[in-house]
Amino acid sequence: MAHVEDSTSCTETRWDTDGASHTEAPQDDDDMSQIEGRNEGSTQLEHDAAAARQRRRIAQLEEKLEALESGRAAKNKQTNYFVARGRAIRRVVTLFDNIEDLVNENDRRCETDDQDHTLELTADRKGSETQYDEYLHMLKMLRQGADSTRGDDTSKLKNLVAEWVNRDFKPTHPVDPDDKHSRGFTHDVCGKLLCPAELDWNNLDVRTGIRDRSEGHIVTDLSFPAFLYDKYTTDPNDLEEGLFKGKILIQGYKAVFTSPSSAKDVAGDGDGADVIRDNTRTKKSCAGMKVKKHVAQIIQMEKVTPRSIAYIACQVRFALSSVTSWRSIDGDFDYVQFWQTIVDFFEKAPGREAQRRVNKLLEWWTQKIFGRNHRDGLSDTAKANMSVNTLARQRAQRDDAAFDSP
């Protein structure tokens, strides 16, 4: 290939192997710098665009992740809500009724605007397929909560009741916290607490008759057991006196609804403490720290109810018995009827005076469990006569007298 260079024209002619010629104008250093600059600028723009696309993609993925986590959190929150409601149903509504029947009754009351006797159950079985799935999920979680709470409380009280009996009675043969077979009427102390109110456990013939299940000594739900009574003794002429004031019954209630530690001492009337308020203050003072709530606080329970007493009575009775697994029938004793009898005692008082005694008993229970002080119940007159307010009036009167004097 020939190459001819013209020194005067400053052009370059190139001859290809096929004989064709090409003339190219030379490029100076400034032109080359501009081209390289444009190339670098184009590369930077492409890099920036790619980075921007990547950032947008990351932002989109983060939004999707946040939405998923939010949805999961909402689902978990809803699940926990229904499980908690299921647990509350067994403790304060009914111990034995079917959950779906309760939901049906709840819906019926909602439709008749009976808002005072309904639970907040927000799932629709009559809507779309999605809503029906939510309804089934709600039922499942309610059942889960209902089934687990009875077992959890039974397990808790199994050990605690043994501890309380051994500490208070100091029996020759201590109650084994791990062995239920040694409890019931075969154990002298457990038998005493389970003995029907109309019978005297200290009588050898009574103890023998109950253990042999002989005529006149059959233990059924038609008898109130001694553990329901104050000091575990009864007055045959006034069987209402001291009823539902048994120490071990109160201990069982506190262990379940407030805390096992609060059940250690039930001699006083709460010592002026407000369990609900103190728990709230503890939570606020421990900001950033996880504070465990007790059952009453979780279900926003601020007073003792008849059905919660009936629930604990069934649990304590089972803990004292020799039966190893929960059942509604224990020999001749029907727990369903026992629970209903206690509920009826409170909710179906035969007259005005009986209802007054029931109300007074429930107030006593609320004071005993939650430790409400009497400050909020003071009248304006009583407050006005107390020394702080009296002194304030006296000081004001003296100032007024000094101002009016010449």
How confident is the model over 155-202, as pLDDT tens digits? Answer: 999 999 999 999 999 999 999 999 999 999 999 999 999 999 999 999
pLDDT score of 6 more than 50 = no
- Provide CB contacts within 8 A for 32, sequence distance 6+: none
Tell me what the mean pLDDT of segment 87-110 comes to: 87
Cβ contacts of 250-254, under 8 Å, gap ≥ 24: 250/368, 250/369, 251/160, 251/164, 252/157, 252/160, 252/161, 252/312, 252/315, 252/316, 252/319, 253/304, 253/308, 253/309, 253/312, 253/365, 253/369, 254/369
In this prediction the pTM is 0.69
- Would you place residue 272 in the very low, low, confident or very high pLDDT band (cuts 50, 70, 90)? very low
- Would you place residue 70 in the very low, low, confident or very high pLDDT band (cuts 50, 70, 90)? low
What pLDDT was estimated at residue 40?
A: 63
pLDDT score of 289 more than 60 = no
What pLDDT was estimated at residue 358?
A: 97
Of the listed ranges 53-57, 210-214, 290-294, the one predicted with least confidence: 290-294
State phi, psi for 283 to the nearest 5 degrees.
Answer: -65, -45
Tell me what the mean pLDDT of segment 324-337 comes to: 94
pLDDT greater at residue 274 or residue 100: 100
pLDDT score of 250 more than 70 = yes
pLDDT score of 374 more than 70 = no
Of the listed ranges 70-84, 99-113, 179-193, 239-253, the one predicted with least confidence: 70-84
pLDDT score of 372 more than 90 = no
- Compute the distance between CA of residue 162 and CA of residue 260 in angstroms, rounded to an integer: 13
